[in-house]
Amino acid sequence: MSDNIFELKKTKFLEQRENNNLADYYNKTHTVEQVASLKEGAKGISTAGRIVAMRTMGKILFAHIYDFSGKVQICVRKTEDAPEVFENFVAHVSIGDFIGAEGEMFVTKTGELTLRVGSWQLLNKCLRTLPEKYHGIEDIETRYRQRYLDIIMNQESRDVFKKRFEIVKTIRRYLEDSGYLEVETPILQTTPSGALARPFFTHHNALDIECVMRIACETYLKRCIGAGMDKVFEFARSFRNEGISATHLQDFTMLEFYASYWNSDTMRKFVEGMMRDLIEKIFGSVKVTLSGKEIDFSGEWPVHEYSDLVKKDSGIDITKYTTRESLSEQIKAKNIRLDDDIQSLSWANMVDSLYKKVSRPKLIQPCFLIKYPVEMAPLARRNSKNSNYVDFFQFLVNGVELVKAYSELVDPLDQRERFEEQMQAREHGDDEAMPIDEEYLTAMEHGFPPIAGVGIGIDRLTMILCGCENIKDTILFPLLRPHSHSQEEKAPEKPVK
């Protein structure tokens, strides 16, 4: 925007402010969406929003007023009994300004439902020019950096965030109706726990201690279970200092929920019911198109065993190669190139990277993955028939993991042994392995009931259900480098982890 245009808009703004013409309140009785659903002849209709388009034809003016619910046309005419309504609008209102308008509904000659304005009020001026309305904002970085403009100008972006809000609301209602309590757990913690991930570190000045930003809320939610809360959940903002990709961000929203006296089989049935309910409420059908692929959520979803799937897709039987050295040799012998540095990976992370390379992209239709090696889930309960596996499952759609869940480990002696194994992995350079969490062990030693737990990445779930190409498209304000590093920001993103 040129300096001259900005200064002109600024001058008009100052004039309105000095004349006390900017109202601090307006009685908005209808959202724009509600106005657009009214019938011709409805009177006394009051709405408010931003002017996003305007055209004048002699003594009549048409404009579109916008709020997050949608857009609707308004009409201002120059009449003999109140010419100032039209004249003041033309003189003082520009595209981008906020106004309140009251009037009655009519249908134009072109058939468009319109609010005929009898009175209006200027609420605030827009000093900068909005993007061109027909093309919206096409530059990706601008859409992320100035999300408010992206939402104003792009219907697709509005639809994504409306759907995200509906996803959260639908899941929350389903959990509450199923007897779950919503709780809040600490973001600042002294020990990173609940997941295999690299944390963010910070310093607590008042307590003079080093803290980490939580990587998961799992261990605190299970303490709630130990306190007698049978079912709990949290939409938790979580932080993992890891690589960035089209499906992975360092700060994200994770839903976790836990139920006493359930196991992974019971929870898998609950998750299937919850996800099918979500799909039906969001799309109105269990058969949907996601990213150009036909996805059918009806029927019974198939269940795959983890080691069998990896063996089928890679030719490597991970149950036979149980050391990082032997597994690494097999991966190299099969000429499989992992996306991660194989030399820095523990056996568990190597298996995970192999699965993500050869198997996960092929899992398009809804399915469950079960029987994970015990090393890959340090907080999960061992399978009673084969202690080399844990009672763990994932739910996948379109090659993306949407749900992780398992029967929780409630044996404090077994838990301590697994923490110690994780510490050994850390000593060998795996900075994502868990340290020993003594406070959590103390809680567990006081006794936990049988527990099943679930984790769902809300950003990734929204991405898949909305058909977005990048997870940033589902985040209102994703973290970006400052403008001084804008060229670096546009560098290609790393592969999906």
Binding-site positions for Mg(2+): 401
Pairing state of beta strands 293-296 and 287-290? antiparallel
Which regions of 317-440 does DSSP assign to beta strands (E)?
Answer: 367-373, 389-397, 400-407
Annotated binding site: 401
Asked if 307 and 371 touch (Cβ cutoff 8 Å), the reply is yes
Q: Which of 380, 400, 398 is nearest to 451 (CA)?
A: 380
Which among 426, 458, 421 has a CA at the least distance from the CA of 168?
Answer: 458
Measured N-to-C along each axis, helices 458-466 and 155-177 cross at an angle, to the nearest 10 degrees, of 130
- Nearby residues of 205 by Cβ (< 8 Å), 6 or more positions away: none
**Greatest C-alpha distance within the chain:** 91
Q: How many CA atoms lie within 13 A of 353 on its CB side?
A: 21
Nearest partner of 435 among 447, 445, 424, 446, judged by Cα:
424
340: left (phi over 0), alpha (psi -120 to 50) or beta: beta
Backbone angles phi, psi at 450, to 5 degrees: -55, 140
Report the number of secondary-structure helices (H) and strands (E) in the chain: 15, 18
H or E stretch covering 347? helix 347-358
Residues 6+ apart with CB under 8 A from 218: 193, 194, 195, 256, 379, 453, 455
Task: Please state the φ and ψ torsions of residue 195, each to the nearest 5 degrees.
Answer: -165, 160
